[in-house]
Structure formats: structure tokens, C-alpha cells
């Protein structure tokens, strides 16, 4: 006669659950509280910002002066447009190159397949270095061009390997049936490979988009004209380097400027919000895309 199953948890199990809950609350607080402080400081009134020493966690009122100042015109608005262009065009170009290269590497027996795959793996293991990269960009005539922020990082070897792993895992019967029907290699990719790889391409596109949006080092190296700086380089200049934004930079003439801290936090929020808005729409593809190639059956 079998013994009844007891559903009562022991004291050690309850202690473990409570400890995990406390740890989760602490970790979430470490992430949420600074973000709340950034948003609150950007929305607080100038008097409260000055009175609190530059950091406000709970604003007494909503004041949009800092946001009006940075969006009226000038360097912040221009840099935001540059970042949007670089992220949009760069992500589209990177997805196209990564998807087609991954498909080519997945076609075993194609011309130069092994040699090309070896070249991709070499770039994954060895970095060319700062000076050679700069010399290549200079020789291509891309200095002080927005394409210098796109072309040098347009293909990631890691993303190519992820996409290739997905294409290798496609059932061979589907490819063979399409070939019998007379489909060309481009038609195989367009009507079979690309539609079936929507999840993994969404995740790879998210990686590329976040990379382009958050990148500032390439602009620091290749762009000397401040009118072509992306938002992240402006953010670094005015927040990390603690440079001062004046009326000529913000495009405001009539009203008094808010505290420098409020302006810095407003720029920081402007740089964070676009990624936070895009991610929820891509979240459902994230887990599926990340597990691509991990399970074979």
C-alpha cells in the first residue's frame, strides 16, 4: 500500500523560497531605483532639483522644461535623427548581409563554402585591432561619413553562425521538393529560408539594432564633425565628460535653461526609451530565436 504524498514544505524549503524572493527584490531594486531617479530628475521642477542636490527620486510635480529645451532644436535633436538613420539603415543592411551569408554557408558543397566559413570563424576569434580598422576606413574614404558608423560593423560573425545553424537545421525534404519544382537558389532563400527564419532574424535584428543605437566609439574615432554625432556620443560628451549645454546647443532663446542635471537626465531618458519601446514587440520571438540550433531531434 503506497504512502500518501505530503505537500507540506519543510522549513528549509520555505527559507530557500523566502531567500530567493528577498534576493529578487534586492536585484530588481538595484535596477529600478536608479532608472526611477533618472526619469524623476528629468521631470522634476528646477527648484526641487537644485534643492535635492541633483538627484530626485519622487518629483513633487511634472516639469517638461528639460525635454522642451533639448527638442526645440540644436545638437540633441540633430544627433537623435542621426542615431535613428544609422540604426534603421544599419540594421536593415546587417540583416540582409547576415541572412544571405548564413544561407550561403549552410549550403554544403557550394563553391568556396569551407574557405568562407573559415574566414568567418577567424574574424570571430581574432580582432583586427584599432589602428588597422581606422586605416581601412580612411582608405575607403569613409571618414566624417555616416557610413563609417554602419559599414565597419555591418556583419557580426557570431550572428552569422547563429543564422547558419538555423538554416542547417531546416528539413532537407523541403529544399529537395522545391528544387524538383524548379526553384532557383534565390527562390529557395526568398520563399523558404527567409519566412521560416523570422524568429531568429528578429533576435539577430534586435542585437544589431541595440548595437547600432548604443554605439559611440566608432563615431568618436571616425567623425570629427559634431553635427554628425549620434545621440550616444552627445550623451557621453554632456553626461560622462560633464560638458555644459548652452542656449545655442539647445535651440532655446526665450526661457531660462533648466539645471544642467535635468538636461543630462532628459538626454539619458531619450537614449533609453526607444529600446524599451521596441523590445516588448520582439519579446515573443526572443526565446525561440535564442534556442535555435540548441536542440536537435
pLDDT digit string (tens) for 93-134? 999 999 999 998 888 777 777 888 888 888 888 888 888 889
Q: Is the pLDDT of residue 2 over 70?
A: no
Q: Decide: helix, strand or coil at residue 125.
A: helix
Q: Using one digit for the tens of pLDDT, what is the confidence trace for 176-221?
A: 888 888 888 888 888 888 888 888 888 899 889 989 998 889 998 9
Confidence band, pLDDT 50/70/90 cuts, at residue 280: confident
How many of the other CB atoms lie within 10 Å of CB of 206?
20
Residue range 143-169, pLDDT digits in tens: 999 999 999 989 988 999 989 988 888
Supply 84's cell numbers. Answer: 535613428
For residues 212 and 217, give the distance between their C-alpha atoms in angstroms, rounded to a whole number: 11
pLDDT at 268: 86
- What is the pLDDT at residue 62? 85
The total of other beta-carbon atoms located within 10 Å of residue 172's CB is 8
With 50 as the cut, is the pLDDT of residue 296 above it? no
Please name which of 120, 82, 108 lies closest in space to residue 219, comparing C-alpha atoms: 82
- All cell numbers assigned to 187: 527562390
Question: For the chain, what is the mean pLDDT?
Answer: 82
Selection from 30, 20, 190 nearest residue 99 by Cα: 190
Would you list the DSSP string of 220-284?
Answer: HHH---GGG--HHHHHIIIIIS-PPP-HHHHT--SSPPPPHHHHHHHHHHHHHHHHHHHHHHHHH
What is the 8-class DSSP label of residue 189?
Answer: I
Q: Measuring CA to CA, which residue among 1, 55, 20 is closest to residue 265?
A: 55
- If one compares 284 and 24, the residue with the highest pLDDT of the two is 24
- pLDDT of residue 295 exceeding 50: no
Do residues 149 and 71 make contact, with C-beta atoms less than 8 angstroms apart?
no
Residue 297 confidence (pLDDT): 45
CA 87 to chain centre: 9
Evaluate if residue 285 carries a pLDDT over 70.
no
Instruction: Give whole-number Cα distances, 98 to 62, 106, 118, in Å.
Output: 45, 12, 16
Under 8 Å between Cβ of 51 and 110 = no
Quote the CA–CA distance of 67 and 54 in Å, as a whole number: 16
> What string of DSSP letters covers 128-164?
--HHHHHHHHHHTT-TTSGGGGTGGGS--HHHHHHHH
User: What letter does residue 292 receive in the DSSP assignment?
Assistant: T
Fill in the DSSP letter of residue 36. H
Q: Which three cell numbers stand for residue 192?
A: 523558404
Q: What is the mean pLDDT of residues 5-29?
A: 79
Domains with residue ranges and CATH for the chain = 11-63 (no CATH), 69-290 (1.10.3720.10)
Q: Given a cut of 70, is residue 15 above it in pLDDT? A: yes
- Give the range among 12-26, 69-83, 111-125, 272-286 with minimum mean pLDDT: 272-286
Amino acid at each position: 500500500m503506497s504512502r500518501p504524498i505530503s505537500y507540506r514544505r519543510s522549513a528549509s524549503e520555505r527559507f530557500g523560497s523566502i531567500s530567493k524572493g528577498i534576493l529578487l527584490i534586492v536585484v530588481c531594486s538595484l535596477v529600478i531605483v536608479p532608472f526611477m531617479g533618472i526619469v524623476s530628475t528629468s521631470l522634476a521642477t528646477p527648484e526641487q532639483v537644485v534643492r535635492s542636490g541633483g538627484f530626485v527620486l519622487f518629483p513633487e510635480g511634472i516639469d517638461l522644461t528639460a525635454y522642451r529645451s533639448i527638442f526645440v532644436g540644436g545638437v540633441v535633436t540633430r544627433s537623435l535623427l542621426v542615431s535613428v538613420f544609422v540604426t534603421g539603415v544599419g540594421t536593415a543592411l546587417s540583416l540582409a548581409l547576415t541572412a544571405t551569408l548564413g544561407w550561403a554557408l549552410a549550403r554544403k558543397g557550394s563553391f568556396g563554402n569551407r574557405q568562407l566559413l573559415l574566414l568567418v570563424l577567424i574574424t570571430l576569434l581574432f580582432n583586427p585591432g584599432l589602428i588597422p580598422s581606422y586605416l581601412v576606413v580612411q582608405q575607403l574614404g569613409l571618414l566624417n561619413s555616416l557610413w563609417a558608423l554602419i559599414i565597419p560593423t555591418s556583419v557580426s560573425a557570431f550572428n552569422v553562425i547563429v543564422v547558419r545553424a538555423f538554416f542547417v537545421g531546416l528539413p532537407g525534404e523541403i529544399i529537395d521538393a522545391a528544387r524538383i519544382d524548379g526553384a532557383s537558389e534565390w527562390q529557395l532563400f526568398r520563399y523558404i529560408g527567409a519566412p521560416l527564419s523570422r524568429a531568429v532574424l528578429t533576435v539577430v535584428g534586435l542585437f544589431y539594432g541595440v548595437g547600432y543605437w548604443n554605439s559611440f566609439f566608432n563615431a568618436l574615432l571616425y567623425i570629427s564633425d559634431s553635427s554628425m554625432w549620434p545621440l550616444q556620443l552627445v550623451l557621453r560628451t554632456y553626461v560622462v565628460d560633464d560638458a555644459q549645454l548652452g542656449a545655442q546647443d539647445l535651440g532655446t532663446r526665450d526661457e531660462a535653461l533648466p539645471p544642467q542635471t535635468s538636461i543630462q537626465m532628459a538626454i539619458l531618458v531619450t537614449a533609453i526609451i526607444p529600446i524599451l519601446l521596441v523590445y516588448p514587440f520582439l519579446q515573443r520571438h526572443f526565446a525561440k530565436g535564442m534556442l535555435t540550433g540548441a536542440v536537435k531531434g
